[in-house]
Structure 1
Amino acid sequence: MHHSYLLWRDWFGTKEMRHLWSELNIVNSWLKTETALALTLEEFGVVPADCAKAIQNHRDLEIEDIKKIRILTISTRHILAGFISYMRNRLGEAGEFFHLGATTQDILDTGLAIIIKDSLESIKTDLRSLLTVMAGLADQHRYAVMAGRSQGQHALPITFGFKVALWASELLDHLKRLEELEKRVLLVSVGAAMGTQSSFVLLAGKEKTLDMAKSMARHLKLQHTSTDLHGRVDRFSELLSYIALVCTFLGEIGLELRDLQRTEVAELKEKWKDSFEGSSTLVHKQNPEPAHWPEGLAKIARGNSVAMMDIQIQHERDATRTAPEFATISESFLCLSASLQMIEDILSNIDVDSAQMQANIEKTGGLIMSETVWIELFKKTGRLVHSQHVVKRCANVAGESGISFKQALLDHEDVAAFFTQKEIDWMLNPENYQGTVEEQINAVIASVENEIDGL
């Protein structure tokens, strides 16, 4: 229902994805499937010439057609029979050959595959667009030193560019996963009543029937398999698990962007317009509301994934799968499309406050560089446990007494015996402890460029 809202619908899905999963487009996907079936049966000599052409002439149904089909659907109390009856009446003589030999599941599943294919193409475009934004941001802020955090506390210095590059690296893997699952999801279903294809064998012979899926796949630009798919919901479960995985990742990014905008942190800031409102009563607030919205959508996507995995089909086929399929697949795609759009919009308009990042690092008085010091001390002494103990003691003294970490190090004889003040200053400079950050950023940017240039 929320996808039909005027006020909030863009928060739950993009305009393009709403169109792809509209009732009109779903019904037209059934008609495309029926057209491909007619074309195949025509090629096999089972139906008269131009039968498929007659269907193609009516392939773009409109809202008024849907309203009429609805009346027949209520009358027949069947999810597809009203559509079949309407088209047979509309086609005249050609209607005698409409839906010949097929079963409901063939049309529903293949129709879903058609829309899923278009939806995945849209998602791939959005993923690549977000990758481009991330790569640019990683490059722009490769030297913006900030605190890397674990357990919510300062751990080691990183750069904001490094953080974004790691996001881009994971997003690249999600794009590869999508391309991998397509071959298991974008399949034609043409098993007939019990998946045995008996009706088609009787109509066209076994040899031609064995080529039916291949022929229909060619007409629909889908893929095919040599076995029946009616009882197989695993491919849809894999799809929704994938969407849930990506939505969860985007939700995690959103929460990170939100937390880095907290008043106490203030390292990032979404661009703010005078027309924006952060609260209906707290007029000073500039809430990063879009940043944490994707995590809410991720909860929906994860729930949908569980619902799909929970389908239990009795015998060869039943209708318990139909409701969850049509409810969850569309909603999950809508959630993913909205999340991708929101995260891209935020990252495209984010202000990075490198000065505040540096100020936050300095709040702990150099403690974030403790690892550098004990490793350098270990290199001098060859005593790992002793080196860690000494630096830990210095850190504790700094924390308890309020003196700087640098001063605590200078005051400790085991440190002062090996290092000058200048050397300690070098060890406590976060810019000097970035490991392979730049090389990793470069590798990610190169991978993104290869992906985009390879289109």
Structure 2
Amino acid sequence: MLYQFAANKDQLKIYSDEETIKAWLDVEAALATAQGEAGVIPEDHASQIFDACSIDNIDREELWKSAQNVGYPIFGLVRQVSSHLPDGPNGHVHYGATTQDIMDSGQALQMSRSLAAMDQQLQTLGDLLSEISQKYRDTVMPGRTHAQQAVPTSFGATVAVILDELRRQRDRLAHAYNSVRVISLFGAGGTNAAQGPHSIEVRSRVAELLGLRDTDVPWHVDRDVLAEYGYFCATICGTLAKLARDVVDHSRSEVGEVFEPYNPHRGASSTMPQKVNPISSELIIGMSSTASALLSVFTRMQEAGHQRAAGEWQAEWLAVPTMGTLAGSALDEAIVIASGIRVNPERMKENLKIDGGLIMAEAQMIQLAEYLGREDAHDLLYEASTLARDKSLVLADALREVAKNAGKSDLLPEKLVAPEDYLGEAGHIVDSAVAAWSSTPALQKG
């Protein structure tokens, strides 16, 4: 799994042994309570079972030993809970339920808590990116396409694009949260026959007690809700990898426009004293690569047949907590970057001039199109760009030479357009992204 230093502590706790067992015990306790209220089992039995469903009553070493032998942990869990009860109540633990009911419902609790924790991280990250985008709203920098300078943009607009993607991801998180927080209580074959005539009433009450949604249709072998969780985690890693890749590229020595936070020995090399490596960005890219590969497991989960999986379910036991931890950890590192990002506006301004200022070719073409028409202006700037490269000239000088040779010098404006005058909607993009983010509602927890 992840190196311990890089792993998100909230996700590690949510999917820890202790919290996993507690989630199962919470489901068993809620089941007994609901059955007691419905008269399925005596109320005093339900009360005693509720009290016995305590983590303090579970010998974890014995639980995992039993699970390895049985193949599943709930058999051993029920035996241990029952051993702390007198005759009578001990026969009503896990009454009418099946192993997957308890594990699926427990996992639903964990996944919803996982997403709620990520939503808080998204709020923090989005707010930071919103501030950065506004701060550098009008800071001109080279825009790049195909890894080459294209047209001027602003650093604020560059960040705003990522901010708006975060907004969409937050919408996806809310949808995934509502999807995963669903009860599973349908018995051995999905018909809930063992729960008897009060099955629907009991399931509804268990869902209410756990803060989960009720459903009348079993999902033991329908794992699209888990696939949605996996998809969100993988794609949020992808969004953050886009941010990380931009930081890596902009922090290259030859570019030098944007850097990660700095403190002594951050990103240091054991042999090259000058190095300040973009370590958070590298972690995010690595996590995203792993999450992308792991996503394929979530689609394989959906292949489970009949009324119970034969192997596909087991894949979840590693994939779900790993994916949640990857996403939470990538968000951690993105927050680190956004909290202390270093921006060099002067270097951005200088980089606009490299390659003879060829980044202004389109701008000057559009400026001349008013007099020459677009196609003739395009041809003139193409020839000027070629000349500028061949003779290492500034584009403006090359344009004047080409225009003179073509007998069109009189058509050139006295002042050619400057980078800060060719930002188009950059400012509006920032304002729109910031406004949209600020109106994005916080997660409505069930």
Does TM, scored on the shorter chain, surpass 0.5?
Answer: yes
Q: Which amino acid aligns with 1:158?
A: T
Q: CA contact under 8 A between 2:356 and 2:392: conserved in structure 1?
A: no
Q: In the alignment, is residue 417 of structure 1 matched against residue 422 of structure 2?
A: no
Q: Deviations over 1:253-280 (max 9, x none)?
A: 1121111111111111223222435211
Q: Which amino acid aligns with 1:270?
A: E
Match of 1:324 in 2: 315
Q: Secondary structure at the match of 2:435?
A: helix
Match of 2:367 in 1: 376
Q: Which amino acid aligns with 1:51?
A: H
The unaligned stretches of length 5 or more in structure 1 are none
Q: CA contact under 8 A between 1:128 and 1:452: conserved in structure 2?
A: no
Match of 1:264 among 242, 254, 269: 254
Q: CA contact under 8 A between 2:234 and 2:288: conserved in structure 1?
A: yes
Q: Deviations over 1:399-455 (max 9, x none)?
A: 111221111222214652223332x1xx1x110011111111111111222226898
| CA 70–90 in structure 1, closer or farther in 2 if over 3 Å, else same | farther
Q: Secondary structure at the match of 1:440?
A: helix
Match of 1:345 in 2: 336
Q: Distance in 2 between matches of 1:14 and 1:118?
A: 14
Q: Distance in 1 between matches of 2:226 and 2:251?
A: 37
Cα deviation, residue 147, structure 1: 0.6
Match of 1:114 in 2: 109
Q: Distance in 1 between matches of 2:54 and 2:128?
A: 37
Q: CA contact under 8 A between 2:63 and 2:73: conserved in structure 1?
A: no
Q: In the alignment, is residue 283 of structure 1 matched against residue 273 of structure 2?
A: yes
Match of 1:184 among 157, 167, 179: 179
Match of 2:119 in 1: 124
Q: Secondary structure at the match of 1:149?
A: strand
* TM-score, L = length of structure 2: 0.94
Q: In the alignment, is residue 33 of structure 1 matched against residue 23 of structure 2?
A: no
| CA 185–432 in structure 1, closer or farther in 2 if over 3 Å, else same | same
Q: In the alignment, is residue 408 of structure 1 matched against residue 398 of structure 2?
A: yes
Q: Distance in 2 between matches of 1:453 and 1:31?
A: 30
Q: Distance in 1 between matches of 2:171 and 2:335?
A: 19
Q: Distance in 2 between matches of 1:349 and 1:72?
A: 49
Match of 2:355 among 364, 380, 398: 364
Match of 1:164 in 2: 159
My pick for the range that moved more, 191-200 or 43-52, is: 43-52
Q: Secondary structure at the match of 1:365?
A: helix
| CA 91–384 in structure 1, closer or farther in 2 if over 3 Å, else same | same
Equivalence map 1:7-156=2 (5 Å): 8-11=3-6, 13-62=7-56, 65-74=59-68, 76-92=70-86, 93-156=88-151
Q: Deviations over 1:204-236 (max 9, x none)?
A: x1xx32333322211111112211111111211
Q: Secondary structure at the match of 2:245?
A: helix
| Percent identity of equivalent pairs | 24
Match of 1:399 among 377, 383, 389: 389
Q: In the alignment, is residue 238 of structure 1 matched against residue 232 of structure 2?
A: no
Give the RMSD, CA atoms, in angstroms: 1.9
* TM-score, L = length of structure 1: 0.92
Match of 1:440 in 2: 429
Corresponding pairs, count: 439
Q: Distance in 2 between matches of 1:196 and 1:438?
A: 58
Q: Which amino acid aligns with 1:160?
A: F
Cα deviation, residue 304, structure 1: 1.8
